[in-house]
Amino acid sequence: MQKVILASGSAQRKNLFSILNIPFSVIPADVDEKLIRDNDLKIQAEMIARAKAEKIASQNAGIVIAADTFVVLDKQVLEKPVDLEEARAMLRMQSDREVVVYTGFCYLDGENKIDFSTTSIINMRLRKISDKEIDAYVEKFPVTSWSAAFSPAYPYGATLISEISGSFTGFTHGLPLDMLIPLLRKSGFEVLP
């Protein structure tokens, strides 16, 4: 079987991938995401994921899987906050509002001639969050490591969500298993619990 490489340093993606019972390596792609821009955010997310996958594939043999996730509110991309104050502001902005989550995804398997990339779009609404709860959340969790200052992969982060429409794992872990599992099977892997 081919080597499988997850081109991401995300702990959430690594944890999720590990449930598939497929041996894999983690090699984060060092790509300057700020240089990859497009007016269409769906295309931008896909371009970032593809840039990560292609960089790792150019240096390593095997199947390369990459993803990139960001959150958009009122046409503003909410990236990782620089500090706790910005995290608080982001959470206040999202309270009781709908946001759009873009997860770019790329799967490269040269041996089986599979070259796939797309963007999973998830619509999500946070419930109303009090300032006291926001303060407690930003003090307790690593909010500066997450786009939009929250992660539904952590149990408390999931309690902030009132509605979601789209790829569940594309949203919670930044890795759409609904797309990944069929591709792994095409590459010859038996994906079982």
CATH number for 153: 3.90.950.10
Q: Is residue 147 part of a domain?
A: yes
Whether pTM > 0.85 for this model: the answer is yes
Neighbours of 192 (CB within 10 A): 7
Q: Is residue 88 part of a domain?
A: yes
Q: How confident is the model at residue 139 (pLDDT cuts 50, 70, 90)?
A: very high
Q: How confident is the model at residue 130 (pLDDT cuts 50, 70, 90)?
A: very high
Q: Is residue 191 part of a domain?
A: no
Which residues are marked as active site?
A: 68
- The whole-number pLDDT of residue 52 equals 97
Q: Is residue 193 part of a domain?
A: no
Per residue in 148-173, pLDDT (tens digit) is: 999 998 889 999 999 999 999 999 99
Side chain identity at 46, as an amino acid letter? Answer: E
Three-state secondary structure of 148-193: HHCCCCCHHHHCCEEEEECCHHHHHCCCCHHHHHHHHHHCCCCCCC
**Mean per-residue pLDDT of the chain:** 94
Neighbours of 155 (CB within 10 A): 7
Q: Domain tally for the chain?
A: 1
Share of residues in the chain with pLDDT > 90 (%): 86
What residues does 83 pair with on adjacent strands?
none
Mean pLDDT along residues 132-152: 94
Q: Is residue 93 part of a domain?
A: yes
Q: Is residue 85 part of a domain?
A: yes
Closest CA to 108 of 27, 171, 32, 38: 27
- The whole-number pLDDT of residue 86 equals 98
- The whole-number pLDDT of residue 34 equals 82
Q: Is residue 110 part of a domain?
A: yes
Per residue in 88-105, pLDDT (tens digit) is: 999 999 999 999 999 999
Q: Is residue 122 part of a domain?
A: yes
Domain around 112 = 4-186
* 146 vs 134: CA distance, rounded Å: 15
